Amino acid sequence: QVQLVESGGGLVQAGGSLRLSCAVSGSSLSSVIMNWHRQAPGKQRELVAGITTGGSTTYADAVKGRFTISRDNPKNTVYLQMNSLKPEDTAVYYCKAIMRDIPYWGQGTQVTVSS
């Protein structure tokens, strides 16, 4: 069974940076599609960034140019580098793995951006 554990969240001032990590176990990272989602209070969960097994990436318009998703297959870890953070980036961030069309979610990590 695939298990995901996020880390790296915290409190940061606007304009600052954070790097989130998602450690994957139970499967080789090279065979799964990985996404980062976020959910702010009172809002629906939304896709932030994704990376395919081939390394192609996609980003939500709200984070393009500020966030970068990457994967380190030997370490079975996916990262989300977040720069130029804004208060509206405040949310719980979740990583998701998709393997054989089945989604697996991590428990989430809180990111809070103060103005």
- In whole angstroms, what is the distance from residue 100 CA to residue 102 CA? 5
Nearest one of 91, 105, 113 to 44, comparing CA atoms: 91
Q: How distant is the alpha carbon of residue 72 from its chain centre?
A: 14
Nearest one of 100, 93, 114 to 45, comparing CA atoms: 93
Nearest one of 53, 85, 54, 90 to 68, comparing CA atoms: 85
Mean pLDDT of the chain: 95
pLDDT in tens, 59-104: 999 999 999 999 999 999 999 999 999 999 999 999 999 988 999 9
